[in-house]
Amino acid sequence: QKEVEQDPGPLSVPEGAIVSLNCTYSNSAFQYCMWYRQYSRKGPELLMYTYSSGNKEDGRFTAQVDKSSKYISLFIRDSQPSDSATYLCAMTFTGGGNKLTFGTGTQLKVEL
Amino acid sequence: GAGVSQSPSNKVTEKGKDVELRCDPISGHTALYWYRQSLGQGLEFLIYFQGNSAPDKSGLPSDRFSAERTGGSVSTLTIQRTQQEDSAVYLCASSPTSGRAGTGELFFGEGSRLTVL
């Protein structure tokens, strides 16, 4: 079992939809979780990070952590075609130093 | 430039040949990472450099892989005797010490796409 699991998709939604992207993790020593966005043939870029249970909002994006279920989510409101990309969850765990463990990424397409 | 720079952007090589991939991190960033991204596999950690500390090599898949970081800046990832399974995009990232390094604020380059025939 991978330390961080993510459904690879692809996920296709109409413009304006609310998108839910999810990851599960197996290591209880959770420190931080991050969401990265990666456009085709580009490097990932950091969208959001959080370290506590609950929700964190930034514009149209909300990151949610449920430590009891070992479940993290990223919600995108009012999705736009420009949101079409691969979304990667990444986590750090106590004892892992600064090493980020990534999920496989979910490919999202927002259609007009 | 302002971002992480990687070269070459594309490399096609024959099985058994050695390759070198270069990374120029953002000026002033002391942490440098190499990751490998294969189709459907996500990002796989390879190696991490932090300042003058010994690198964390725990992700290197075999002894054919090595990396150096000279002068705390430029890094080179070397793959000897390449195999077809080494084909992937090799991503370099840097992170500032005073920034949110512990929170994973990595700044990635665009990667070097390696194809081994």
- Summarised one tens digit per residue, pLDDT across range A30-47 is 888 899 999 999 999 999
In tens, the pLDDT along B35-49 reads 999 987 789 999 999
In tens, the pLDDT along A68-97 reads 999 999 999 999 999 999 999 999 888 777
Percent of chain A with pLDDT strictly greater than 70: 99
Average pLDDT value over all residues in chain A: 91
Position B102 scores a pLDDT of: 53
Most A CBs within 10 Å: which of B29, B100, B106, as the mutation test of the A interface? B106
Closest CA to A86 of A1, A21, A33, A18: A21
- Whether B93 has its CB under 8 Å from any CB of chain A: the answer is yes
Closest CA to B42 of A40, A86, A62: A86
Residue B101: is its pLDDT beyond 70? no
Looking up tokens 């259609």, which residue turns up? A111
- Whether B26 has its CB under 8 Å from any CB of chain A: the answer is no
Contact between B113 and B11 (Cβ < 8 Å): yes
Residue B103: is its pLDDT beyond 80? no
* Contacts of residue A98, Cβ cutoff 8 Å, sequence gap at least 6: A92, B31, B48, B50, B95, B101, B102, B104
d(CA A83, CA A105) in angstroms, rounded, equals: 14
* Contacts of residue B27, Cβ cutoff 8 Å, sequence gap at least 6: none
DSSP secondary structure letters along B35-84: EEEETTTEEEEEEEEETTSPPB-TT--STTEEEEESTTS-EEEEE-S--G
**What backbone torsions phi and psi does residue B53 show, to the nearest 5 degrees?**
-75, 160
Average pLDDT value over all residues in chain B: 90
The answer to whether B108 contacts A32, with C-beta atoms less than 8 Å apart, is: no
Closest CA to A58 of A34, A41, A82, A40: A34
Most confidently predicted of A7-11, A30-34, B58-62: B58-62
Contact between A112 and A91 (Cβ < 8 Å): no
Q: Average the pLDDT over A41-54 and give the result.
A: 88
Contact between A86 and A108 (Cβ < 8 Å): yes
Size of interface A-B (CB pairs under 8 A): 68
Closest CA to B21 of B88, B105, B97, B84: B88
Most B CBs within 10 Å: which of A102, A106, A107, as the mutation test of the B interface? A102
Which residue of chain A is at minimal alpha-carbon distance from B31? A98
Q: Which residues of A touch B41 (CB under 8 A)?
A: 104
Q: Which residues of B touch A92 (CB under 8 A)?
A: 102-104
Residues in A whose CB is inside 8 Å of some CB of B read 6, 8, 31-32, 34, 41-46, 49, 51, 88, 90, 92, 97-105
Position B80 scores a pLDDT of: 98
- Whether B98 has its CB under 8 Å from any CB of chain A: the answer is no
Q: Which residues of A touch B95 (CB under 8 A)?
A: 98
Which of A32-46, A57-71, A96-110, B57-71 is predicted least confidently?
Answer: A96-110
Position B99 scores a pLDDT of: 46
d(CA A83, CA A87) in angstroms, rounded, equals: 10
Two tokens at B60? 């290197």
